[in-house]
Structure formats: structure tokens, C-alpha cells
């Protein structure tokens, strides 16, 4: 790959030894060190240097490959979906069999779903994480909880959807509603919140807890005054991840609360609603005669929505981290 360039080890060695050593000018000489010179590259050194460069390039390449899909997706969406953007695209309801109008009700519906899901999952998830990190002893119950979290994280979203349908829509009789859909989303994203919050809490140095306890603080006082204030930014990271996932999920809301079209904006959590993800799925696959730029436009708005929500919480995080005192 880079064999033709001069070996940096060898050239560095030449610099060290004055640059005029005869041994160095002959590539591939055996055992330069045996000749008494201390800092000359041996064959082995040169081989190591080549391997080193190889792996460096390999890892760099892999990282760059990682960027490509992001750029490609965003580029495609902006080029193809950009023309769909207009004021009325964001402020009007779809008309004429989805071929005209905008996505306003879906936008509002997704916001409802995200907010209600957060209201349900963040308190629950953070509380569970606090228990696991600060109170739980290593016993059978704790191991059972951990097992449950891992398994919950591994359940496919369509299974969550069916569970939500059975539990919230039918058993608790919420009907197809924002509440049922958001609770389904909340359960689905709970493991993310719990795991990230627990890791953040455990990153707070144990010495702070020791100090608090030895001053006569109870566990709760320690958590409230020292542990939580120092982990808010990390907890927010979990919330960000959750938001991103919630916004885009289609399957769980499809059976539980989102509908293809409703003429009304939701007035409360027991209403049905439109949602961006379902809207996109429908106009891209089911509805005929939709102008080609519209699905791309919806997809682009979906991504923009995640970005806006994320940057808001990232901004808040940076602000909090600035106030961190250790």
C-alpha cells in the first residue's frame, strides 16, 4: 500500500545517528543493532512499521466507510425530497387522496407520541436505573431484573406492537389511542433508558458516595444531592437515543394508535392520531399516484425532526456539562 514511501523508522534512525551511516543506506541489512549502532532500524523494525501503517490505514478506511451511508442517505433525501418542501407541506393536512397538501397532522401526532412515551418511560427507566445502580445488592432479584432488561431490549418491535395491541388497546381498553401507542413505545425503549442511565450513575466516582455516607447522608440524600446532579447530562444521552428510536418506529404504533388518516388533530391521549412513520410507510407503498418527491420529503422531515430534537437535548447537555464540577 505505502511500500514505496521511505520507511519512517529508518529515516528517523538516520536522523538520530547523524544521517551518514553506511549500514542504513543498504536496505534489508541484517541486525543493525549487532553492529553496535543503537538507534538503527533492523529488518524487524521495518516490518513492524509496515504492519503498523497497514492497520492504521485499515481502521481509518473502516471509519470513513461508516460515514458514507449517512452522507448518501441525507444527500438522496435532500435532492429528491427537497422540492416537496414548502410552507403548506408543513402546515396543511393531506388532500386529494394524499396527492396534495402536507403532513401537518402527522407531525403533530408524532410529537404527541414522543412526548407521552417519554413521560412514561423516563421516570420509570430512571427510577429503575437508580434502584439497580444505588440500592440493589447482587442477589437473585437483581439478576432477574437484569435478565428482563436484556430480553426486553431483544424483543422485535412487531412483537412489542402485538403486545401493545393485546395489553393496552384491548385489555386495558384504551382503544387505538395515543396512550396505547405511546405506552407500547415506552416499553420498547425502556431498556435503552435504563442501561444508559445506570451506566451514567455508575460513572459518578464512588468516592463521592463514600464522602456523603460518611457525613451521615442516607442513600437517597446522596443520590439527590450528589449522584443525580452529576449524571443529568448522561441521562439525557439515553433520552436522546430514545427519542430517535421513538420517532421512527412504525410497527408498534400501527396496531395501537396511529391511523392512516384522520380529519382531526388529537385533542387528548385517548384520541387516534396520524404519525410520520406510518404516513411515510403508507404513501410509499400503499397509496397510488403520490407525487414521487412527497415520500422523500416526508422521510427528510422525519430525519430533520430527530435532528432538531436531538440537537436541543445535546445543547442542553453541553450546557449542563459546562456546569459539572469535577
Partner 1 sequence: MADGTQPRPAQASPAGPTSTPDASAAAICVRDFNLWYGDFQALFDVNLQVTRGKVTSLIGPSGCGKSTLLRSINRINERLGYVRTSGAIELLGQDILAEGVELTPLRRSVGMVFQRPNPLPLSIRDNVLFAYRLSKGGKTKRADEDQVLQEALEEVLLWDKVKDRLKRSATALSLEEQQKLCIARLLPIKPSVLLMDEPCSALDPKATRAVEELIWKLRGEYSILIVTHNMAQARRASDECIFMLMGEVVEHTATGEMFVTPKHQKTADYIEGRFG
Helix H or strand E encompassing 94 = strand 94-95
Check binding of 225 to partner 1 (CB under 8 A).
yes
Question: Between residues 6 and 138, which has the closer beta carbon with respect to partner 1?
Answer: 138
Instruction: Give yes or no for residue 217 binding partner 1 (CB under 8 A).
Output: yes
Is residue 212 near partner 1 by the rule CB under 8 A? yes
230 within 8 A of 184, measured Cβ to Cβ: no
C-alpha cell at 39: 538507534
Secondary structure of residue 258 in the 3-state scheme: strand
Give the interface segment with partner 1, choosing from 23-31, 48-56, 142-150, 213-221 (CB under 8 A): 213-221
In the bound state with partner 1, the residue whose beta carbon lies nearer, of 53 and 219, is 219
Q: Which of 38, 63, 67, 137 binds partner 1 (CB under 8 A)?
A: 137
Q: Is 87 in the site for partner 1 (CB under 8 A)?
A: no
221 is an interface residue for partner 1 by CB under 8 A: yes
CB of 224 to partner 1, least distance (A): 11
Whose Cβ is closer to partner 1: residue 208's or residue 316's?
208
Candidates 208, 248, 262, 270; binder of partner 1 (CB under 8 A) is 208
Beta-carbon contacts of 231 under 8 Å, excluding residues fewer than 6 positions away, are 197, 200, 201, 203, 204
Q: What angle do CA 54, 58, 63 make, to 5 degrees?
A: 150
Going by C-alpha positions, the residue among 110, 113, 111, 107 that lies closest to residue 93 is 107
User: Alpha-carbon distance 274 to 259, whole Å?
Assistant: 5
**Cβ 225 to partner 1 shortest distance, Å:** 8
Helix, strand, coil share (%) of the chain residues, nearest 5? 70, 0, 25
> What's the closest the beta carbon of residue 198 comes to partner 1, in angstroms?
18
Which region, judged by CB under 8 A, interacts with partner 1, from 97-105, 119-127, 175-183, 218-226? Answer: 218-226
Cβ 16 vs Cβ 37: under 8 Å: no
**Hey, which residues does 36 pair with through a beta bridge?**
none
Indicate the residue among 39 and 213 with the shorter CB distance to partner 1.
Answer: 213
User: Which residues form the interface with partner 1 (CB under 8 A)?
Assistant: 137-138, 205, 207-208, 210-218, 221, 225-226, 229-230, 324-326
Amino acid at each position: 500500500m505505502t511500500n514505496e514511501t521511505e520507511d519512517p523508522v529508518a529515516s528517523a534512525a538516520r536522523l538520530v545517528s547523524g544521517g551518514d551511516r553506511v549500514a542504513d543506506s543498504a536496505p534489508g541489512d541484517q541486525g543493525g543493532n549487532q553492529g553496535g549502532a543503537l538507534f538503527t532500524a533492523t529488518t524487524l523494525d521495518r516490518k513492524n512499521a509496515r504492519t503498523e501503517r497497514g492497520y492504521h490505514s485499515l481502521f481509518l478506511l473502516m471509519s470513513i466507510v461508516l460515514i458514507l451511508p449517512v452522507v448518501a442517505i441525507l444527500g438522496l433525501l435532500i435532492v429528491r425530497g427537497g422540492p416537496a418542501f414548502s410552507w403548506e407541506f408543513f402546515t396543511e393536512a393531506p388532500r386529494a387522496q394524499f396527492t396534495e397538501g402536507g403532513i401537518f397532522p402527522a407531525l403533530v401526532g408524532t410529537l404527541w407520541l414522543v412526548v407521552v412515551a417519554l413521560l412514561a418511560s423516563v421516570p420509570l427507566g430512571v427510577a429503575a436505573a437508580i434502584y439497580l445502580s444505588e440500592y440493589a445488592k447482587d442477589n437473585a432479584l437483581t439478576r432477574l431484573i437484569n435478565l428482563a432488561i436484556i430480553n426486553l431490549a431483544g424483543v422485535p418491535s412487531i412483537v412489542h406492537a402485538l403486545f401493545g395491541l393485546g395489553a393496552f388497546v384491548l385489555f386495558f381498553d384504551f382503544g387505538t389511542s395515543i396512550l396505547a401507542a405511546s405506552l407500547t413505545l415506552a416499553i420498547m425503549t425502556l431498556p435503552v433508558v435504563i442501561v444508559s442511565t445506570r451506566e451514567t450513575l455508575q460513572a459518578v466516582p464512588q468516592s463521592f458516595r463514600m464522602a456523603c455516607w460518611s457525613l451521615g447522608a442516607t442513600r437517597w440524600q446522596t443520590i439527590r444531592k450528589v449522584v443525580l446532579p452529576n449524571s443529568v447530562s448522561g441521562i439525557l444521552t439515553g433520552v436522546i437515543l430514545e427519542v430517535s428510536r421513538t420517532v421512527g418506529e412504525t410497527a408498534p404504533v400501527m396496531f395501537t394508535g396511529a391511523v392512516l388518516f384522520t380529519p382531526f388533530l388529537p385533542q387528548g391521549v385517548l384520541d387516534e392520531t396520524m404519525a410520520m412513520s406510518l404516513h411515510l410507510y403508507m404513501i410509499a407503498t400503499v397509496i397510488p399516484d403520490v407525487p414521487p418527491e412527497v415520500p422523500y420529503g416526508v422521510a427528510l422531515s422525519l430525519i430533520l425532526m430527530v435532528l432538531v430534537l436531538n440537537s436541543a437535548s445535546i445543547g442542553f447537555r453541553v450546557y449542563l456539562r459546562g456546569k459539572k464540577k469535577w
